[in-house]
Structure 1
């Protein structure tokens, strides 16, 4: 059994197309999407049409926190990245978002959510110090959030950091990284930066071995990231332009 996991596309249609081509080149047809599909100063409308096409091919998607903002927050109250995406999205895209589940189980043995099973806006595998340092969360805290989940493979996104964590009972939690946003800063829970240090699109391939173990393989895909960086700059977002150009903020 082999499939691909993508997450945190953030309206970066060029990155999404490159990743889908890379996945197809590996002969993989099954894909799961862990959310945050549109928010950003890029091409939410083009990404939306591509997601609708993927939905026709039974790509399983769960809703991210920014996906939720787009359907629950009044347009005039949206933050800038969400507002830019909302202005581009058609009713068909928003209707698709409304149908997405918060979490789901894929192929009977894989649990999917955007951030954690309880909250779509909390890092599962990372924590942030008051000084703004982002580091691996203690195992007991990670395991506490996985309480009640029986599936041997758990997939999450949200932090944009590719990472795999083995729980003490053998379950594996994997974050495939971000397709469309390699760096950002945030002020919750404390002001901090997340930086991959490269401008490539990230995703993961998950394969089940004959022994029944799940093994992640992390992929980085080059694409015309400078075109997206220039688009972000044209749309007044120098922070995104830097992130897309360098993987740093």
Structure 2
């Protein structure tokens, strides 16, 4: 089995198109999408139009949940932009996406951790520092899971961890936004360090999974121009450098 894993597109149609083109070279059996699809400063409707016909196994991220649950006047800039541009058919599709999904009885798709799309799984925020999660912390979140492969997103940082139990956890990184800051639970920055679109290729040999992280060149200068035109100057440096 061979699959491509994408996550955290955040309305970046420029990066998404480049990633989908790159995936074609790998002849995968399946492409899966881990959420945070539309919200941001770029092109939510165009992103929806590109994805809907492809019918990838897809889950909600925290931003999809917020779009569906929050009152528009309480939304942040990223969700508000998506809310204003998504069309009725996009909303119909969005409402049908599950929060989590299990494929082939062995692949668990979550955005954050099982049961919570807002918690980092492979990273931990302590004060203003971000560090790799300990195996002990991770095990507490997945102790009731039997999957051989757990796919997560949310942090935008490509990372994998093989647990002693034989389970592989993979965050493919972000297709569309290579840096951001957040004030929960403490102020911190997440930075991939380059503007490349990220995704991962997973392949199973026997009973073992392997992961290859992919970095894709795309027109991030054009994406930054669109962000600026959409009154999101805070996205420009993140898109062009992968740094805040």
* Structure 1: tracts of 5 or more residues without a match: none
The size of the alignment, in residue pairs, is 244
- Please report how far the alpha carbon of residue 148 of structure 1 lies from its aligned counterpart in structure 2 after TM superposition: 1.1
1:232 to 2:227 alignment:
yes
The within-5 A match list for 1:185-204 is: 185-204=181-200
The within-5 A match list for 1:177-192 is: 177-192=173-188
Report the equivalent of 1:73.
Answer: 70
Report the equivalent of 1:9.
Answer: 9
The within-5 A match list for 1:30-45 is: 30-45=30-45
1:123 to 2:123 alignment:
no
Distance 1:100 1:159 in 2: 20
Distance 2:54 2:237 in 1: 29
- Please report how far the alpha carbon of residue 29 of structure 1 lies from its aligned counterpart in structure 2 after TM superposition: 4.4
Distance 2:21 2:28 in 1: 10
Report the equivalent of 1:152.
Answer: 148
The ranges of structure 1 where at least 4 consecutive aligned residues each deviate by more than 4 angstroms after the TM superposition are: none
Distance 1:106 1:6 in 2: 15
Distance 2:64 2:4 in 1: 21
**CA offsets per residue over residues 1-57 of structure 1, 9 Å max, x none?**
1010000000001111110000012222410000000000100000011121111xx
- Please report how far the alpha carbon of residue 219 of structure 1 lies from its aligned counterpart in structure 2 after TM superposition: 0.1
| 1:45 and 1:90 in contact (8 A); partners too | yes
- Please report how far the alpha carbon of residue 239 of structure 1 lies from its aligned counterpart in structure 2 after TM superposition: 1.4
**Residue in structure 1 matching 2:105, options 93, 97, 108:** 108
| 1:23 and 1:29 in contact (8 A); partners too | no
Report the equivalent of 2:18.
Answer: 18
Distance 2:138 2:72 in 1: 35
1:49 to 2:49 alignment:
yes
TM-score normalised by the chain length of structure 1: 0.96
TM-score normalised by the chain length of structure 2: 0.98
**Secondary structure, counterpart of 2:237 in structure 1:** helix
1:207 to 2:164 alignment:
no
**CA offsets per residue over residues 89-137 of structure 1, 9 Å max, x none?**
001111111111111111221011111102110101111111x111111
RMSD: 0.9
* Structure 2: tracts of 5 or more residues without a match: none
**CA offsets per residue over residues 188-244 of structure 1, 9 Å max, x none?**
0100001111001000000001x3100010000000011001111111211111100
Distance 1:26 1:127 in 2: 32
